[in-house]
Structure 1
Amino acid sequence: MAKKKANSEQESLLEQIQCIAQGLGEMFAPFTEVVVHDLRTPKNAILTIHNNLSGRSVGDPATELGLARIADDDYPQILSNYPNRFSDGRTAKSTSIGIKDSGGHYIAALCLNVDVSLFRGIQAILGQFCLTDSAPMKESLDPASADAIRERIDRFAVNLATTPRLLKAEQRRELMQELKGEGYLEVRKAMDVISQHLGVSRATVYNDVR
């Protein structure tokens, strides 16, 4: 009877967390990924995912942080604003909130991952806009680096009030022509970097540049 009551409590908590996650996802779209992990089932922990920026899927396993909470009820409940990185190299800022049941055991986690690379593009645009003299803005980035390509793509997307992964086909083609004209396509593995940052295949990128 006690076990049944505990399970009912946990399910109720998870339902509430999923509602919170949906609200956060809608408010901070498309810049913030919001994920709910069910730590009771670590092998397929991801219960819901909003604004998918990491490429993960519902049913994917728990992260190292999730496993740490499962192993230790005294693990910090809130880890906020720590540096992270998506699998394609984009920088991120993350916050993870552990959820405990009435017995003090972790049963879930609510995680937010912000795509910082886009805001760096916005920062660059604002910096250029706020210049008060006629001197050109100095570029401190190495033009041969993958980060320079990503930030160039971010600036293009920001000018259209969108994100790299939400660019339409005609916008991607325009972007590719600009990258080609500025010499970015000559960078080693440029097509790999571009395809990962746009969230499309290499074939799509090659087709867009024609």
Structure 2
Amino acid sequence: MLGDRYEVILHDLSHVESSIVGIEGSITHRKIGGPATNYLIQLLREYGDEAKDSINYKNVMPDGRVLRSSTIFIRDNDGKIIGSLCINQDLTDFMVANRLLERLVEFKNEEHEVPKEMFAQDISEVMESMVGSELALVNKPVAYMQKEDKLALVDDLEHKGIFDVKGSVEYVAECLGVTNFTVYNYLKEIRTKHK
């Protein structure tokens, strides 16, 4: 039912040297009559009948294959461990595919800031988003902003190219509570400084 990447093993732990009494799948190439694993023996040695089930742990085969394994103990009516059900899943192909997919979706410019791109329906939404983002960074209400704050905000918006958009000066002026003339003066001052 689980497919060929799984293996299910039933152990009779009264004889650890030949404990495998049932097996379906061939991930580990073991057979009926094979021994318990060192890990299973270690759990029994350390914890005896108090040993807890071990679920979803990693195993690496000698040939490098990676398995996800689980060991579930079977107890009699007195709580004594008499057997175990072990499940192994070969994850190797999935891990190879995962690495391939990661390479397909990786970005080469991850050391740079990831752009927050907005897919708007019209240009006014883009302007609103850009100005809103910059105002949020100032971290104070417009009423409390000094000329230096407003100048720095206009500088950032100029750097991001908002003033290449028609109507942007008027929109920024309205948001900052200043006249269009003031925003033009800010731009003149900024552009002179950057020259």
Q: What is the TM-score when the length of structure 1 is the normalising length? A: 0.45
Larger Rg: 2
